A = this chain, B = another copy of it.
Amino acid sequence: MELHRFYSSLAIRNDRTRKIVLLLIDGLGGLSHENYGYKTELEYANHPTLDRLASRGATGMLTPVLPGVTPGSGPAHMALFGMDPISLNIGRGVLEALGIGIVPGSTDVLARGNFCTVDDNGVIIDRRAGRISTDICEERLSLLRDIRVPGCDIELHAVRDHRFVLRLKGSDLNGDIGNTDPGTVGRKPKAASALTRRAEATAGLVNAFVDQALNRLKGPFAANALVLRGFSMLPGIPGFDELYGLRSAALAIYPMYKGLARVVGMDILNCGNDFSDQLRTLKTHWDDYDYFFIHYKYTDSCGEDGEFLSKAHHIETLDSSIGPLISLEPAVLAVTGDHSTPAALKSHSWHPVPLLLVSPTCRRDGSTAFTESVCARGGLGTLESKYLMGLLLAHALRLEKFGA
């Protein structure tokens, strides 16, 4: 049985009192940095409130996917929402759409598009079309917007630079389609090919679009062609309400995270531009929901930029602002990250992520701080992120006994 269905089978519904809060600090986990006494960002930062929470709760470590595997935001969040991130991996096209605020319908097919530059023979000579500006990307897309293909509606959305999203809307589409992007210069874009029988008709629609598009883009200039990849549809995931009987809401500022929350059926609350705004919104809607997902972005961005001190600083900002959340006294508060983004690596990484769980029903483990080294020895042990949802439900007394 799929993990989320197993937890679902045990879920106790209609409890409107015991609130669950998942405070997700994006890219939280760090790496010992030689310039900072081999401390991680979290070890270096001063965060007395989180430390106090740790002493009232239990800590542990989350492995986002499997040991050694560095996750993108998609699988990392899906796991924290209780889904197996390998079998329910969200395709690139869908993620790209979520990232710009589009939540695909369940029958849509999405693909990530790149403008590229080809020579007179149609051979790709620049896979990113010289990284044209987003304005030029918009301009090129406007040439393609009135292309009609019988059998589906087509939408095109600029992302950034040479990147865009292709959305096919129809009633009988299928996303099992291979990339038209050959993945290298020196080759022509490929035709879209159906990877399964059921996708043959959709592949035909894609090729009908691409043929017309290539005709319109032709010319002795950059961005005179396009390639598509990551054809995908929304995985059929039931919402939190259906699965767990949870009225759930997301407090996220960036489109990607709002989109990922929508995939599991959360309401997206309008929550301003910073963490204090997010917490004010939380308070306003406290009675309306049973589960709140709060997404704190800045730690990840600083990690990606290699900014150790900024990342530590954003942890401190969060720590000093978290009071209003604690005052609401959620039945279960989990503080963790979707993955590690160590400044030392300037990228997402595979390292486990610190987890802090505070609840009247948690077994206190004597943790005295919220750091990687404390969490690695914490009472919750090291577990895959996909099990967190079960822990949250359990500590909120929202899972019934399994078996007699």
**A404 interfacial contact with B, CB 8 Å:** yes
The stretch of A71-79, A113-121, A269-277, A310-318 that contacts the partner chain:
A71-79
**A32 interfacial contact with B, CB 8 Å:** yes
Within 8 A of B (CB), among A114-143: none
A3 to chain B, nearest CB (A): 8
Within 8 A of B (CB), among A329-351: 344-345, 347-351
Residues B38 and A364 in contact, CB atoms below 8 Å apart: yes
User: Which chain B residue lies CB-closest to A30?
Assistant: B363
**Distance in angstroms between the alpha carbons of A390 and B86 in the assembled complex:** 15
Residues of B within 8 A of A361 (CB): 31, 344-345, 349
Residues of B within 8 A of A400 (CB): 70
Q: Looking at chain A's contact residues, is the secondary structure mostly helix, strand, loop, or mixed?
A: loop
Number of copies: 2
User: Which chain B residue lies CB-closest to A384?
Assistant: B67
A195 to chain B, nearest CB (A): 16
Within 8 A of B (CB), among A83-100: 85-86, 89-90, 92, 95-96
Q: Which one of B75, B89, B387 contacts A66 once the chains associate, using CB atoms below 8 Å?
A: B387
Residues A363 and B351 in contact, CB atoms below 8 Å apart: yes
Q: Which one of B69, B72, B73, B381 contacts A390 once the chains associate, using CB atoms below 8 Å?
A: B69
Q: Which one of B66, B363, B403 contacts A6 once the chains associate, using CB atoms below 8 Å?
A: B66
19 contacts between A and B (CB under 8 A): A10-B69, A40-B363, A61-B381, A68-B390, A68-B395, A69-B399, A69-B402, A70-B401, A72-B404, A73-B404, A75-B402, A76-B403, A89-B403, A90-B403, A350-B391, A350-B399, A365-B376, A376-B379, A376-B380
Which 3 A/B pairs are nearest by Cβ-Cβ distance?
A68-B390, A381-B382, A68-B394
Given contacts A1-B86, A376-B377, A381-B381, 17 further A-B contacts (CB under 8 A): A10-B69, A31-B361, A32-B362, A32-B363, A61-B381, A65-B402, A67-B387, A67-B390, A96-B404, A230-B404, A345-B361, A349-B394, A350-B391, A352-B381, A363-B372, A373-B379, A376-B381
